[in-house]
Amino acid sequence: MKRFWKQAAARPAATGGYTVTLDGKPMRTPAKRPLVMSSLALAEAVAAEWNEQPADFNPETMALTRFANTAVDRVADLRDEVIEEMANWAGTDLVSYRAAEPVELAERQREAWDPWVEWLRRRFDVDLKVTAGLMPIAQAPETVDRMAAALSFRGDEELAALHTLVGILGSLVLALAVAEGELALDDAWSASRTDEDHQAAHWGEDAEAAARAVQLRADLGHAHRFLRLLKA
């Protein structure tokens, strides 16, 4: 696409919160809704993202804008469904499924994941079941309900970014720990890659998988930055 504006700027929105103007005109989402953000720091970062675009630009590269649009156009309308989808990760959460063998991998999983299973118990009173093997386990209904409760008090913007964190990390537990500021993003990424790193160490790294991991790590960073700007 061709750049059609000269200057983007963060401004107070008429309805409260903050928006971004392009040459003085408030931005709208792809669904033609006013783009309103709760954080001035976030609005300023979105404006900077637009100011940094070249004469020919690709909207898909504008990660902060995408998250802000998703919060307004999708999460606001489907909030209950988004929360339910993420809460249901309790049944397939990465940290619940452990290797029975080799012992070395099982130990690495225990060291990487057990502290966050325990953190979840302390923080949200959620007792997540853990199993060895690939057979699915059914978490207690109250576990899913409490996971949903841990999400329900969060705003649409935070849920938009959390959804990406959960999908990439494969774990609502790790994503919540990141969102709560308890787990550094690099450590969460390393914890989520425990199995892959073990395989690469023993069998070598697949070039295609490595390239995919680089992209996922970049996407994770964008979601995390969005979260931090929300709370700045």
Decide if pLDDT at 207 tops 90: no
Q: What is the pLDDT of residue 147?
A: 96
All structural domains of the chain with their residue ranges: 8-56, 79-230
Q: What is the pLDDT of residues 71-105, one digit of tens each?
A: 999 999 999 999 999 999 988 999 999 998 899 99
Q: What is the pLDDT of residues 187-202, one digit of tens each?
A: 999 999 999 999 888 8
Contacts of 36 (CB under 8 A, 6+ apart): 13, 15, 16, 17, 18, 19, 72
CATH architecture of the domain with residue range 79-230? Orthogonal Bundle (1.10)
This model's pTM is above 0.85: yes
Q: What is the pLDDT of residue 112?
A: 98
Pairing of strands 131-132, 97-98: parallel
Q: Which CATH superfamily is domain 8-56 in?
A: ATP12-like (3.30.2180.10)
Q: What is the pLDDT of residue 205?
A: 80
Q: What is the pLDDT of residue 16?
A: 95
Q: What is the pLDDT of residue 136?
A: 85
